[in-house]
Structure 1
């Protein structure tokens, strides 16, 4: 028996039949009259990891929690039994008007996580949600449903964030993001956790420095390892505040599994069949800890993460996965290098199925703005100016054929107002997209905004010395900054505005937030200009 959990009655094994689509306890369904669950008594508060909402639609969204009284322990303080969890969604923060309620099952097979796909709500309005297990109640979260299809919206406002290395800084930016007014949603582009072992010391440039805080164990490989790493991150109150403030759309990048992985290939040359086992553990832990719908339930090492959301006739959001279907990085993935492999015709970033899905989505969209929400930079910046042409080969620049194929299709199909949103670089960038090697002209094919990290890279600086030279050599790059923070996008039918919010430091929790710059793109004109 767990030291933090007691049972008053035996749990019904038949309760395991309560499921959605045969995939487990992901959505609440009616409880058969002869089934009875125990009323758990927790000695330690079970909602240590907070609450979250995700993937909103016009009639609802996913609400998530995970029971974990002792999050960093093996077994996280829970018995190997299913536990009933009650949920409520209300029209007000005081829960005076409950719009929907029900029960779900937190199953040990899924780390006692709960994913409730709430439906039957009104479109384009905020709701509040919470959970109860036994006599324990979670804090509440807030989420907004999307507008009905075809609605003529005048404004969408959302946040973009990711790359949150626990050891390299505090998550102060998430506390600031949680305080942003009127957010429709948050897009998290990935690197939600980092897989590295805990390190007391890091290279500070002038000598060793102590890490801000430390991972709790070695590099992670097993399902239990990944569960504990997510728990360590999710125990952060600032991250919990950002989740509770708005519904999130989440995708992953590399560190949710292993640095720079693609397909069945990791950076260490691990046999593919062995690496798939690690991917499988990481994929399950990712699903367990994200507010994802049942359609993203992992099947072996695979998770369906590319998907679409619409905000009336104003904005279509295409969430992409640039890891699972990609071919190996060329040139040995050497930084600022090039080789014949960059132009390989067989290279893939999205894979054939996802690429077709994206082009069909872009071509069929009737929204003013078409967003490609993804992970790796699409601008083909020369990273070695004055020496030799060199690229970040873990970005689209290392894959000239699929990059140009996508951009040509956007150009030739006359898909206007395409905006690419990216992470991964631990810097802010804004620029314009042209075919590989083309001299930037007056009419870009699309615009790109790259968002810096929450904490990865430490305090940072306004602009790195090497980036001054890189920006000078790349006229398509209009802005660069190397501080930590997030981006707020304010979108109307006439204009897209991106506001880069930065912190002066992440080495303590009192970092000051400021707006570094505001940049804009006018409708039907992909040039990036000052707002």
Structure 2
């Protein structure tokens, strides 16, 4: 999301850093426990489940000096086993790979020839040690009737802003088929560059803003050292895409707001560094061919749903100022790029499944910013990175690329496609929205799709920016947003946590779960709100929590 303006970055950098650094200078007992294996200190993970395949991931530290980004350490043979039982007595696939400093000692294995809708257990062994045994699951067969799918949904986890309790609570659940991460898995900022209301809770490594390949590798390694993140990866496969902070804030095809060529080199090199580290460190399977590798991809879950994961940073036109209406509406500007738009519209309009779910890094619902009293206005403009005087909308999400939004929504409507749900991250707040045919004529003109937006794991929102208690100033802004945008049925601008998203033949529902205090590593979680889309309705409605 557009998290920084020059004013905001300057404001955040004035925060007293010494207190935060002192408070987080040593590893906590929880982090130390996560590193109890000297070889597999970054855990294990799986991802991108297909009906007959799953991707397995780990990172090994073969010698003490072979730390992430160091370029040190010998080439190492890593063996792996995949079994039907947790004791690994019924092994169905196994093998070995050699990793080295060339790939930062990361390991990715695409295991094929598996059974659909089957739970498997796996582990790695290297340098005389074995990893923990983890669990994963393949997708249902393409033609299978599926009664229910349930996913954890997360976005925007800033290490410095707090602890990853949201991941811990997802790891404790036994009802998830996978976890969907919608972007901002890491943050690129220097320490103190974007913290929460209590300053720097945990210090970034490296301390400076990450630019080089070594920098990105070190930062990924730090995030993967978190015990709650490791626990969430151990239990189910993940399906991930990136937003901007995996490279730099407000990234676009040829640059980023948070990239200064005069001091940080050319953007293409920095972007390539971030992409290489991401593919090394994340359990994602690149789509396309060797000559056209891309992150946007589609996964099938029986006849019930297809999930289209988008990349809305690599191909987009540069953002324009929100009040530059003609530029915002220009048909020559794009958020998806032509190839991804063609792939997306073709897939949505021809999908044989009942539900079409879109993993969408930034909001697509049209949203006008209402008139607000000064304190609420200050919080909203800081959250969205807008000028203090206020403007009609935020130009970093789809609101800044209206021609592409119209192309997509028109394609859906013209094809008569129903049951299209965008699940979205980025904006550090929770939303439930009808996506109108024409916002100015809502509801009479009808709706095209729906959008369910999950809040941040830790990244700052309104109460953080204003340093006020939750649901004080934010509550005023929330009610104003709904009053000014009648298609917005729910918004919470203050809380942090995760979503639980269920799809059944009768409906799709997002439950918003919130942590009580992201600064507390033992934070509890509570149910905040549930919103459901009934099959064929294209509208959201409040719902009791999933059981």
TM normalised by structure 1 equals 0.85
Q: Report the CA distance shift for 1:296/1:365 in structure 2 as closer, same or farther (over 3 A).
A: closer
Q: Report the CA distance shift for 1:260/1:87 in structure 2 as closer, same or farther (over 3 A).
A: same
Q: Please say if residues 520 and 529 of structure 1, whose CA atoms lie closer than 8 Å, have aligned partners that are also in contact.
A: yes
SS at match of 2:532: strand
Deviation per CA, 1:245-301: give whole Å up to 9, x if none.
Answer: 1101110000000000111121145389810000011110000100122547997xx
Specify the alignment match of 2:203 in structure 1.
Answer: 214
SS at match of 2:271: helix
Q: Report the CA distance shift for 1:395/1:434 in structure 2 as closer, same or farther (over 3 A).
A: same
- State yes or no: 1:65 paired with 2:58: yes
How far apart are the structure 2 equivalents of 1:72 and 1:467? Answer: 50
How far apart are the structure 2 equivalents of 1:339 and 1:291? Answer: 40
Query: After superposition, where does 1:415-494 map in structure 2 within 5 Å?
Result: 415-435=417-437, 437-441=439-443, 443-457=446-460, 461-462=470-471, 463-481=474-492, 482-494=494-506
Total equivalences in the alignment? 480
Q: Please say if residues 78 and 124 of structure 2, whose CA atoms lie closer than 8 Å, have aligned partners that are also in contact.
A: yes
Q: Please say if residues 132 and 138 of structure 1, whose CA atoms lie closer than 8 Å, have aligned partners that are also in contact.
A: yes
How far apart are the structure 1 equivalents of 2:72 and 2:442? Answer: 60
TM normalised by structure 2 equals 0.83
Q: Please say if residues 168 and 456 of structure 1, whose CA atoms lie closer than 8 Å, have aligned partners that are also in contact.
A: yes
Deviation per CA, 1:18-74: give whole Å up to 9, x if none.
Answer: xxxxxxxxxxxxxxxxxxxxxxxxx97111110000011111200000113689976
Specify the alignment match of 1:275 in structure 2.
Answer: 267
Q: Please say if residues 159 and 489 of structure 1, whose CA atoms lie closer than 8 Å, have aligned partners that are also in contact.
A: yes
Q: Report the CA distance shift for 1:483/1:434 in structure 2 as closer, same or farther (over 3 A).
A: same
How far apart are the structure 1 equivalents of 2:523 and 2:504? Answer: 31
Q: Report the CA distance shift for 1:338/1:515 in structure 2 as closer, same or farther (over 3 A).
A: farther
| Structure with more helix by fraction | 2
Specify the alignment match of 1:510 in structure 2.
Answer: 522
How far apart are the structure 2 equivalents of 1:512 and 1:467? Answer: 24
Deviation per CA, 1:175-206: give whole Å up to 9, x if none.
Answer: 001112221111101101100011299574xx
Query: After superposition, where does 1:93-492 map in structure 2 within 5 Å?
Result: 93-199=86-192, 204=197, 209-216=198-205, 217-267=207-257, 268=259, 270=261, 274-293=266-285, 295=287, 304-331=294-321, 337-385=323-371, 390-435=392-437, 437-441=439-443, 443-457=446-460, 461-462=470-471, 463-481=474-492, 482-492=494-504
Q: Please say if residues 314 and 368 of structure 1, whose CA atoms lie closer than 8 Å, have aligned partners that are also in contact.
A: yes
* CA drift at 1:388: 7.4
* CA drift at 1:505: 1.1
Q: Please say if residues 128 and 142 of structure 1, whose CA atoms lie closer than 8 Å, have aligned partners that are also in contact.
A: yes
How far apart are the structure 1 equivalents of 2:288 and 2:162? Answer: 30
SS at match of 2:440: coil
Alpha-carbon RMSD: 2.5
How far apart are the structure 2 equivalents of 1:261 and 1:464? Answer: 30
Question: For structure 1, which runs of at least 5 residues remain unmatched after alignment?
Answer: 1-42
How far apart are the structure 2 equivalents of 1:200 and 1:498? Answer: 32
* Further displaced range: 141-150 or 457-466: 457-466
* Further displaced range: 310-319 or 503-512: 503-512
* CA drift at 1:323: 0.6
* CA drift at 1:518: 1.2
Question: For structure 2, which runs of at least 5 residues remain unmatched after alignment?
Answer: 1-35, 373-388, 465-469
How far apart are the structure 2 equivalents of 1:71 and 1:449? Answer: 44
* CA drift at 1:436: 5.4
Q: Report the CA distance shift for 1:75/1:523 in structure 2 as closer, same or farther (over 3 A).
A: closer
SS at match of 1:280: helix
Identify the structure with bigger relative contact order (alpha carbons < 8 Å, sequence gap 6+): 2
- State yes or no: 1:52 paired with 2:45: yes
SS at match of 1:467: helix
Q: Report the CA distance shift for 1:296/1:452 in structure 2 as closer, same or farther (over 3 A).
A: farther
* CA drift at 1:75: 5.8
How far apart are the structure 1 equivalents of 2:216 and 2:406? Answer: 36
How far apart are the structure 1 equivalents of 2:181 and 2:454? Answer: 10
How far apart are the structure 2 equivalents of 1:201 and 1:432? Answer: 31
Q: Please say if residues 72 and 228 of structure 1, whose CA atoms lie closer than 8 Å, have aligned partners that are also in contact.
A: no
How far apart are the structure 1 equivalents of 2:222 and 2:539? Answer: 42
Deviation per CA, 1:88-111: give whole Å up to 9, x if none.
Answer: 011111112111111111132111
